Amino acid sequence: MNSIYKASVAALALGVASTSAFADGHTVSGELRIVSDMSNPAPRAVMEGLVADFGALNPDLNIELTIVDREAWKTQIRNSLTADAPDVVNWYAANRMGPYVEAGLFEDVSDMYEDGSLPGLDAVKGAMTLNGAQWGVPYTFYQWGIYYREDIFNELGLEEPTTMEQEMANCQVILDSGRKCYAIGTKFLWTAGGWFDYMNMRTNGFDFHMELARGEVEWTDERVVQTFENWAALIEMGAFIDDHQSYSWQEALKFMTDGDATAYLIGNFAVAPMRDAGLDDSQIDFYQFPTIADVPQGEDAPTDTFHIPAQASNKDNARAFLAYVASADVQTEINAGAALGQLPVNANSGVDADEFLEQGFDMLSNNAQGGVAQFFDRDFPAEMASVGMEGLQEFMVFPENRDDILERLEDARQRIYQ
């Protein structure tokens, strides 16, 4: 059930009302209606705190916040954008914005990126860009990369690799020790998408990967074939755990925590379960996915966003709220461990003194020159993502089926992107 929250200027839940974004004394007044899908307890508290603090900065502004169930919002959003549209809504970056951008339901906010309203967002600007314009503002994201058993690397005399040649050399040593190189659970398909994202971005670059996601490249293109050849080299040497199609990502994590596999390409959300399983930070570490070709580094960093509906009534107030949310101080506060526990999108923000958050923030702020991708099932249209991930899982089990898989995916591309 939806709930309505009226902002109270007396409630300063986050304590960042003095942020420099409004240090010049500029305030807004009137009305601001926000619909948010931050319905889980911690995100809900963050959202309510944002509204309270923004209200404190703007005492003549009446803010109405409606919080809806996160899953329900996926089917409700289109109607909300067309019938009595609010002024701000939550959604996701990159191609997940596509249907609403193409339908003219999201406001173009490119001016905010051009006029200095959003300093520190250069690294994530690409995730908000479609058709050469920006359609919203991100507020949180998290890194993907290779988490590994540092204690086992030390035992085997291995160092963090920076190239795929070094990665494969390390993997052979690991295999010779009786372990697998990578844990992965592909029962629910999407983890295979993560491996494809990185193999393709490292083989052909971020821009090519996005062209493929937009349906502009054939799956049978020789450059895509090269991605699969590079991936097959790991599969065929036995790098991945056996029967991974039988495990969820959580079930497969046990192979790493038990020491039967040494690494996992996964998002930062896996760190807490690793710690819960008894591994401390002296036993686990993180590195950026190694290079393959000389192409700019792209990274997967799923990003949550705010948007202004094209039919909104209070767009100036909405722009002020988006600028506030994206400001460095607010980003530091809402992404802290006691709040969202993720990464701020503003490069001028700080992060909690957590080893993995610090590493991820540095990587995404300074070493993701190619761009920030949103993950396979967000970057590709839903139907293509579904068909694609089925093919990717099949390839990981039967790499000899590569040509048949790519032909099927190309047939799907031609049908889906008409």
- Whether residues 133 and 210 share a domain: the answer is no
- Whether residues 181 and 223 share a domain: the answer is yes
Report the predicted TM-score, pTM, of the whole model to 2 decimal places: 0.80
pLDDT, tens only, 332-370: 999 987 788 889 999 999 988 889 989 998 998 888 888
Residue pair 299/368 in contact (Cβ under 8 Å)? The answer is yes
172 within a domain of the structure (yes/no): yes
Distance CA 208, CA 187 (A): 28
C-alpha dist (Å) from residue 338 to 42, 46, 70, 344, 352: 8, 10, 21, 14, 9
360 within a domain of the structure (yes/no): no
150 within a domain of the structure (yes/no): yes
363 within a domain of the structure (yes/no): no
Q: Are strands 144-149 and 261-267 parallel, antiparallel or unpaired?
A: antiparallel
Locate tokens 């005492």: which residue? 59
- Beta bridge partners of residue 306, listed in sequence order: 90, 137
- Beta bridge partners of residue 134, listed in sequence order: 129
pLDDT at 29: 94
368 within a domain of the structure (yes/no): no
pLDDT band at 2 (very low <50, low <70, confident <90, very high): very low
pLDDT at residue 8 above 50? no
- Whether residues 194 and 244 share a domain: the answer is yes
- Whether residues 150 and 137 share a domain: the answer is no
Length of the chain: 418
- Whether residues 315 and 171 share a domain: the answer is no
Residue pair 213/95 in contact (Cβ under 8 Å)? The answer is yes
Closest CA to 141 of 339, 362, 361: 361
- Whether residues 83 and 213 share a domain: the answer is no
pLDDT at 367: 86
Closest CA to 212 of 200, 203, 194, 202: 200
- Whether residues 150 and 138 share a domain: the answer is no
pLDDT band at 278 (very low <50, low <70, confident <90, very high): very high
- Whether residues 272 and 203 share a domain: the answer is yes
127 within a domain of the structure (yes/no): yes
Half-sphere exposure of 385 (CA within 13 A, CB side): 19
pLDDT at 10: 31
Region 267-271: mean pLDDT is 89
Residue pair 239/167 in contact (Cβ under 8 Å)? The answer is no
- Whether residues 48 and 154 share a domain: the answer is no
Region 270-276: mean pLDDT is 90
Closest CA to 272 of 260, 263, 261, 284: 284
pLDDT band at 272 (very low <50, low <70, confident <90, very high): confident
pLDDT at 13: 46
- Which of these ranges, 118-122, 156-160, 172-176, 340-344, has the smallest mean pLDDT? 340-344
356 within a domain of the structure (yes/no): no
- Whether residues 267 and 118 share a domain: the answer is no
pLDDT at residue 413 above 70? yes
- Whether residues 162 and 283 share a domain: the answer is yes
pLDDT at 24: 45
Q: Which H or E element spans position 394?
A: helix 382-397
Domain count, the chain: 2
pLDDT at residue 17 above 60? no
pLDDT at residue 18 above 80? no
Tell me the CATH number at 267: 3.40.190.10
- Whether residues 115 and 215 share a domain: the answer is no
- Which of these ranges, 85-89, 165-169, 349-353, has the smallest mean pLDDT? 349-353
354 within a domain of the structure (yes/no): no
Residue-range definition of the domain harbouring residue 160: 144-300+375-416
pLDDT, tens only, 177-207: 999 999 999 999 999 999 999 999 999 999 9
pLDDT, tens only, 99-117: 899 999 999 999 999 999 9
pLDDT, tens only, 139-151: 998 899 999 999 9
pLDDT at residue 228 above 90? yes
pLDDT at residue 6 above 70? no
Between 72 and 113, name the one with better pLDDT.
113
pLDDT at 123: 80
Signed CA dihedral, 123, 127, 133, 135: sign only: negative
pLDDT at residue 50 above 80? yes
